[in-house]
Structure 1
């Protein structure tokens, strides 16, 4: 899961959390956010993208929808 978070594979990380903990999507997002913040604090140089780009879609014209807001707007 950590490697997925560091490599900006958000959906894969959330899926692993859900499968491992047998939790809801909302609980998995909460776990993801906590772990993301820990990794960002403890090993910021291991991330493949900076905090400004993290959670943004890989295509520049796509914007986060309100249903993706919890993951896309973690930094704000």
Structure 2
């Protein structure tokens, strides 16, 4: 008997939350409000009927596009 493992390409909101390490409320809020000043942008999503889904390739790209910091620098006003 051969077992075939299928790599998931599409994630639900709950799976996406776990994958990127952000809350489901972050995903919902950022999806509804769009890009806002001083807020992290939302990963791209797709709608299939009434269902919201996230493509793994989009999530990987979204994660890669965020700045990697060695340390935080506090700005002096």
Could you tell me the TM-score, scaled by structure 2's length?
0.28
Structure with max Cα Rg: 2
Bigger strand share: 2
Could you tell me the TM-score, scaled by structure 1's length?
0.28
Bigger helix share: 1
